[in-house]
Structure 1
Amino acid sequence: MPELLSPRIDAISFRQLRLFESVGRLCSVRRGSEECNLSQPAVTQSLAKLEQMIGVELFERRPSGSYLTPLGRILYSRVVRMLKQMVTALFELEVPGGQVGAEAIVHRLTRSQVRSLVAIIEHGTFAAAAAALQITEGSLQRAARDLECNLRKNILFRSADGVIVTPAGIACGRRMSLALQEIDWAINEIDVARDIGESRIVIGALPFGGSVLLASMLDEFLATQSKVDVRIATESTSEMMQLLRDGKVDLVIGLTQETVGDDLVSQTLAETPYEVVARRGHPLTGQSHVNHEDLIKYDWVVGMPNSNRRNCFDRLFIDGPKPRTPIATSALLFIRHLLAGSNRLTLMTSYELQHETMLVRVPIDVPLPCPTIGITTRADWLPTALHRDFINLIKSRVNTRSIMGVTRTAA
Structure 2
Amino acid sequence: MDVWKLNLRHLRSVAMTVRLGNLKAVAKKINLSQPAVTQSIIKIEEWFGAQFFVRHPSGMHPTEFANVLSPRIEMALNLIGSNRVTSTQARAFLSLSKTGSYVAASRDIGISQPSLHRNVADLQSVLNFKLVEPRGRGIALTPKGISVARKFLLARLQLEAGFSEIYALLGKETGHISIGAMPLSRASLLPSVLVAFQKRHPHITISVVEGGHGELIEPVRDGHLDIIIGAIREHPIGKDLIQIPLFTDQPVVIGRKDHPLTKVFEKNACCQNSQIMKLAHYPWYMPGKGAPINVVWRELFNRVPVDIPNIPIMGGSVMMIRQLLLETDGLTLLSPDQVAVELEADWLVQICTVPEWMQRDIGITYRTNWHPTRAQSYLLELLNHHSRK
TM-score, scaled relative to structure 1: 0.85
Following superposition, the deviation at residue 222 of structure 1 comes to: 2.2
What's 1:177 paired with? Answer: 153
What's 1:395 paired with? Answer: 384
What is the CA–CA distance in structure 1 between the aligned matches of 2:179 and 2:354, rounded to whole Å?
A: 37
What's 1:58 paired with? Answer: 52
Amino acid at match of 2:100: G
Following superposition, the deviation at residue 154 of structure 1 comes to: 1.9
What's 1:25 paired with? Answer: 19
Following superposition, the deviation at residue 221 of structure 1 comes to: 2.5
1:326 matched to 2:312 = yes
Aligned length: 376
What is the CA–CA distance in structure 1 between the aligned matches of 2:368 and 2:348, rounded to whole Å?
A: 37
5+ long unaligned stretches in structure 1:
88-105, 401-411
TM-score, scaled relative to structure 2: 0.90
What is the CA–CA distance in structure 2 between the aligned matches of 1:218 and 1:194, rounded to whole Å?
A: 24
What's 1:168 paired with? Answer: 144
Q: Which of the numbers 311, 322, 326 marks the counterpart of 1:336?
A: 322
What's 1:139 paired with? Answer: 115
1:382 matched to 2:371 = yes
What is the CA–CA distance in structure 1 between the aligned matches of 2:245 and 2:333, rounded to whole Å?
A: 21
1:275 matched to 2:261 = no
What's 2:75 paired with? Answer: 81
Identity score, percent = 28
1:204 matched to 2:180 = yes
Q: Which of the numbers 230, 233, 241 marks the counterpart of 2:206?
A: 230
Change (3 A) 1:11 1:221: closer
Kept in 1, the 8 Å contact 2:5–2:87? The answer is no
What's 1:264 paired with? Answer: 241
Following superposition, the deviation at residue 366 of structure 1 comes to: 5.6
Give every structure 1 segment of 4 or more consecutive aligned residues whose post-TM-superposition deviation is greater than 6 Å.
none
Change (3 A) 1:158 1:225: closer
Question: Mean alpha-carbon deviation: is it higher for 72-81 or for 273-282?
Answer: 273-282
Following superposition, the deviation at residue 211 of structure 1 comes to: 4.1
Amino acid at match of 1:382: H
5+ long unaligned stretches in structure 2:
267-271
Kept in 1, the 8 Å contact 2:11–2:40? The answer is no
Kept in 2, the 8 Å contact 1:291–1:366? The answer is no
What's 2:125 paired with? Answer: 149
Q: Which of the numbers 28, 49, 52 marks the counterpart of 1:34?
A: 28
Q: Which of the numbers 10, 13, 19 marks the counterpart of 2:4?
A: 10
SS of structure 1 residue aligned to 2:385: helix
What is the CA–CA distance in structure 2 between the aligned matches of 1:262 and 1:351, rounded to whole Å?
A: 32
What is the CA–CA distance in structure 1 between the aligned matches of 2:4 and 2:90, rounded to whole Å?
A: 11
Change (3 A) 1:69 1:328: same
Q: Which of the numbers 63, 69, 77 marks the counterpart of 2:63?
A: 69
SS of structure 1 residue aligned to 2:245: strand
SS of structure 2 residue aligned to 1:209: helix
Q: Which digits, 9 at most, give the CA deviation of each residue in 1:330-377, with x for residues without a partner?
A: 211222222123221111135546564233333367665211111111
Amino acid at match of 1:236: G
Q: Which digits, 9 at most, give the CA deviation of each residue in 1:164-212, with x for residues without a partner?
A: 2113311221121111111111111111221123332222211223443
Change (3 A) 1:218 1:152: closer
What is the CA–CA distance in structure 2 between the aligned matches of 1:180 and 1:190, rounded to whole Å?
A: 15
Amino acid at match of 1:122: K
